[in-house]
Homo-oligomer: A and B are copies of this chain.
């Protein structure tokens, strides 16, 4: 078959797998170099299997102009973030890519480069996958599998009255990055702008810190819909009430520069953070500090769990409840 254009459509489906994806599966014997129909994985003694799927869609989770490397990394990291927030360790992933005709070979080669780097960084293997053409939007679906020590999964439903509420890193940066990319906002400081955009394009799942939370936290969730929206899932599952001090919510200097005194309110309802929000008994503070230091993960106590009907209250510095314009990002 003659190679005509710079498009994967000019390659056969199997050529695409052989040239682009099979090299990503080398070194993981259960992937059979992507030359069979399924992958196999040896169970890990004393562990349960953890499963998570996440689709990353052009126009929804990334923008058409985003670099292929960051699209790949975001697709993988979104799934890994859920594994991390549950105290589990990822082992391998499957990849389903639906390609529109407009995607070039150069694009997909860079996409694979992005995956290669992250596979090494997070020590996960490509176990299998498929490519399809699509008449629609570029869609990347990652199914990640991992292991958690039996009975140690960090659930949403374990929060208890008296717990402290914590969050890793800073929140709101990714949402600000998206606003900047969409030109809904502007920032003169180019370096600050780039840092916010990078947070939107390449999240940093808190893999090591998540693992350290096993047996320490009572409940945990990854912050993807927005801090309040995700805490809302947690309080609903746990049947408790959470109060957040807005002034304690960790905000980056870049976000502060962009949104000024609105930064906090915007931060708690912005999506795509991929930080971990969790609750833990007050007595766990030393363990949390030690885990944060060992894994070099910033972590901030932002509020507390109290008895009461399920809900999240956000308080200002006077302890008054703030009205939130919206809870977070919703796909529908």
Residues in A lying within 8 Å of B, measured CB to CB: 8-9, 11-13, 16, 30, 32, 35-44, 47-55, 57-60, 82-83, 85-86, 88, 92, 94-96, 98, 100, 127-137, 139, 141, 143, 145, 148, 150, 153, 155-157, 221-222, 233, 237, 330-332
Q: When A37-B221, A41-B48, A128-B51 are in contact, do A12 and B332 touch as well, CB less than 8 Å?
A: yes
- Asked if B156 contacts A55 (CB within 8 A), the reply is no
CA distance A5 to B49 in the complex (A): 40
Within 8 Å by CB of A51, from B39, B98, B132, B136, lies B39
- Asked if B139 contacts A51 (CB within 8 A), the reply is no
User: What would be 26 A-B contacts, judged by CB atoms less than 8 Å apart?
Assistant: A9-B332, A32-B155, A35-B156, A36-B86, A37-B85, A37-B221, A37-B222, A38-B50, A39-B50, A39-B52, A40-B48, A41-B48, A42-B48, A42-B150, A43-B49, A51-B145, A53-B143, A54-B96, A54-B130, A55-B132, A57-B134, A57-B135, A59-B135, A100-B136, A135-B136, A136-B137
Report A300 CB to chain B, min CB distance, Å. Answer: 21
CA distance A136 to B86 in the complex (A): 32
Smallest CB-CB separation from A127: which chain B residue?
Answer: B51
Q: What residues of chain B lie closer than 8 Å to A129, measured between beta carbons?
A: 53
- Asked if A57 contacts B132 (CB within 8 A), the reply is yes
Within 8 Å by CB of A40, from B16, B30, B153, lies B153
Report A145 CB to chain B, min CB distance, Å. Answer: 7
- Asked if A134 contacts B143 (CB within 8 A), the reply is no
- Asked if B331 contacts A13 (CB within 8 A), the reply is yes
- Asked if B55 contacts A51 (CB within 8 A), the reply is no
Q: What residues of chain B lie closer than 8 Å to A98, measured between beta carbons?
A: 55, 57, 139
Q: What residues of chain B lie closer than 8 Å to A148, measured between beta carbons?
A: 40
Q: What residues of chain B lie closer than 8 Å to A127, measured between beta carbons?
A: 51
Report A166 CB to chain B, min CB distance, Å. Answer: 17
Report A227 CB to chain B, min CB distance, Å. Answer: 15
Q: What residues of chain B lie closer than 8 Å to A35, measured between beta carbons?
A: 156-157, 233, 237
Q: What residues of chain B lie closer than 8 Å to A86, measured between beta carbons?
A: 36-38
Smallest CB-CB separation from A39: which chain B residue?
Answer: B51
Smallest CB-CB separation from A332: which chain B residue?
Answer: B13
Q: What residues of chain B lie closer than 8 Å to A44, measured between beta carbons?
A: 43
- Asked if B9 contacts A55 (CB within 8 A), the reply is no
- Asked if B41 contacts A96 (CB within 8 A), the reply is no
CA distance A131 to B222 in the complex (A): 17
Q: When A136-B136, A330-B13, A331-B132 are in contact, do A40 and B36 touch as well, CB less than 8 Å?
A: no
Report A237 CB to chain B, min CB distance, Å. Answer: 6
- Asked if B136 contacts A55 (CB within 8 A), the reply is no
Q: When A60-B134, A98-B57, A332-B13 are in contact, do A52 and B156 touch as well, CB less than 8 Å?
A: no
